[in-house]
């Protein structure tokens, strides 16, 4: 709340009462109408039975933990290993995609902030943004074509003699990881760029003059400045990857069921909204808990991410 008050005061001082009220009301309506109320409605659904319409509001329509119990246990009382393993596999995959984006985006953001100047910097930004004018689903299908058995990757790999027969990148989830990493790459680059841009480049030059190798300069000088940006980007990429649906359905192999696909099945194929809501709440709580744990491990606060 303190950060919000400071932001409001800064906006008020710079643009006046009208602009400050407009932004405050718009943000409040957005948070309440499009985020808070749907989440509360879904939470309420998750504690209900899946009843026919004519039984809604009767004595049979009361709160229950049955939907959550079904996630952890089967009808015979055994542990529901299938859904739990799908959730764990989804979180691990989201963590891998987040790590890939950090590795790719950190050097790009650093070069963009302290290497490229003038026209080169603008061309880099344009080159990053223009591909995202294409619809996400079309990009996913493009990756499926790219990594298909007769796609560019397999064709070049066989022509260069790297492998003799087409590799099934779809079944191996290579296409899925690449597609997801590409889908959210901008959400990693720009937070890191904003953090690294504030770094005084003379500190880097001083470290190099004192004989520090390049890796130590980044480890001791650049990364401490970039850590809030990395945490912010990693949070967004991890949450969006864990909640992705289109890309896993298009690029995922037959054995790579995503947890969001399970949720989709409960909502749309089984018409069991309480069960789907419970599974969605489980995914949300698990992701938030994991992100908070990682913030604690890497000693990054919410305020630092907000910057």
Q: What is the pLDDT of residue 12?
A: 63
CA distance 182 to 137: 12
Per the structure, the count of domains in the chain is 2
Looking at the fold, whether 142 and 275 belong to one and the same domain comes out as: yes
Domain membership flag for residue 53: no
Looking at the fold, whether 10 and 148 belong to one and the same domain comes out as: no
**264-287 per-position pLDDT tens digit:** 999 998 899 999 999 999 999 999
What is each CA distance from 179 to 96, 124, 138, 144, 162, in whole angstroms?
A: 12, 20, 11, 9, 22
Question: pLDDT band for position 304 (50/70/90)?
Answer: low
Which residue range(s) make up the domain with 27?
1-46
β-bridge mates for residue 79, sequence order = 73
Q: Which residue has the higher pLDDT, 205 or 188?
A: 188
Looking at the fold, whether 111 and 16 belong to one and the same domain comes out as: no
Looking at the fold, whether 158 and 21 belong to one and the same domain comes out as: no
**224-238 per-position pLDDT tens digit:** 888 889 999 999 999
Q: What does the angle CA 280 – CA 229 – CA 16 come to, to the nearest 5 degrees?
A: 90
Looking at the fold, whether 172 and 249 belong to one and the same domain comes out as: yes
Q: What is the mean pLDDT of residues 120-129?
A: 86
Question: pLDDT band for position 154 (50/70/90)?
Answer: very high
Looking at the fold, whether 39 and 85 belong to one and the same domain comes out as: no
**38-90 per-position pLDDT tens digit:** 999 999 999 999 888 788 778 888 899 999 999 999 988 899 999 999 999 99
**88-104 per-position pLDDT tens digit:** 999 999 999 999 999 99
Looking at the fold, whether 107 and 21 belong to one and the same domain comes out as: no
Looking at the fold, whether 107 and 27 belong to one and the same domain comes out as: no
Domain membership flag for residue 4: yes
Looking at the fold, whether 194 and 92 belong to one and the same domain comes out as: yes
Q: What is the pLDDT of residue 187?
A: 92
Q: 164-194 burial, b for 16+ CB within 10 Å, e for fewer?
A: eeebebbeebbbbbbbbbbbbbbbbbbbbbb
Looking at the fold, whether 208 and 281 belong to one and the same domain comes out as: yes
- pTM here is 0.87
Looking at the fold, whether 176 and 98 belong to one and the same domain comes out as: yes
Looking at the fold, whether 85 and 19 belong to one and the same domain comes out as: no
Domain membership flag for residue 176: yes
Could you tell me the CATH number of the domain that includes residue 139? 1.10.3720.10
């Amino acid at each position: 709340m303190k950060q919000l008050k400071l932001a409001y005061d800064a906006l008020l001082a710079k643009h006046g009462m009208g602009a400050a009220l407009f932004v405050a009301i718009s943000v409040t309506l957005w948070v309440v109408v499009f985020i808070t109320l749907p989440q509360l409605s879904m939470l309420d659904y998750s504690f209900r039975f899946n009843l026919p319409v004519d039984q809604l509001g009767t004595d049979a329509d009361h709160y229950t933990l049955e939907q959550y119990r079904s996630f952890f246990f089967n009808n015979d009382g055994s542990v529901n290993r299938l859904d739990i393993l799908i959730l764990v596999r989804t979180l691990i995959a989201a963590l891998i995609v987040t790590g890939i984006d950090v590795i790719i985006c950190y050097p790009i953001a650093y070069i963009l902030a302290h290497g490229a100047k003038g026209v080169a910097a603008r061309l880099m930004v344009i080159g990053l943004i223009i591909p995202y004018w294409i619809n996400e689903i079309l990009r996913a299908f493009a990756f499926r074509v790219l990594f298909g058995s007769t796609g560019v990757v397999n064709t070049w790999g066989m022509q260069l003699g790297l492998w003799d027969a087409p590799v099934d990148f779809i079944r191996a989830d290579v296409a899925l990881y690449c597609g997801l990493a590409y889908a959210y790459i901008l959400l990693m680059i720009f937070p890191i760029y904003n953090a690294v841009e504030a770094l005084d480049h003379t500190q880097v030059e001083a470290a190099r003059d004192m004989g520090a190798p390049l890796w130590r300069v980044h480890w001791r000088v650049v990364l401490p400045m970039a850590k809030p940006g990395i945490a912010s980007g990693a949070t967004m990429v991890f949450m969006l990857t864990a909640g992705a649906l289109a890309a896993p359905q298009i690029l995922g192999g037959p054995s790579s069921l995503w947890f969001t696909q399970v949720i989709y099945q409960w909502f749309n194929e089984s018409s069991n909204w309480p069960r789907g809501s419970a599974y969605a709440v489980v995914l949300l709580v698990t992701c938030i808990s994991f992100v908070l744990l990682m913030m604690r491990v890497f000693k990054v606060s919410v305020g630092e991410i907000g910057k």
